[in-house]
Amino acid sequence: MFLAVILLAVPCLVASCRGRTILDSSKAGKQVVGHLASPAAGGLSQVPASGESSVKVWFVRAEGDNLVYVSQERKCDSASGMPARAIIFAMNELLAGPGKGGTAVSSEIPSGTKLLGVDDDPSSGAITIDLSSAFVEGGGNDSFEARLEQVRRTVSGIGAGVQRPIYLNIEGKRLSASGDGLEVKQPINDVEPVNQRDPN
Distance of alpha carbon 180 from alpha carbon 77, whole angstroms: 38
Could you list the residue range(s) of the whole structural domain that residue 99 is in? 3-34+42-174
Residue 183 falls inside a structural domain: no
Q: What pLDDT is attached to residue 176?
A: 93
Phi, psi dihedrals of residue 147, rounded to the nearest 5°: -70, -35
- The type of residue at 135 is F
For the stretch 81-119, pLDDT in tens is 567 888 999 999 999 999 765 568 999 999 999 999 999
Taking CA 118 as the corner, what is the angle to CA 1 and CA 182, rounded to the nearest 5 degrees?
115
Domain count, the chain: 1
Contact status, residue 109 vs residue 25, Cβ threshold 8 Å: no
| 190 lies in some domain | no
CA dist., res. 68 & res. 163, Å (int) = 24
Residue 26: its pLDDT value, please?
A: 40
The segments of the chain whose pLDDT lies below 70 read 1-52, 77-82, 100-103, 157, 159-162, 195-200
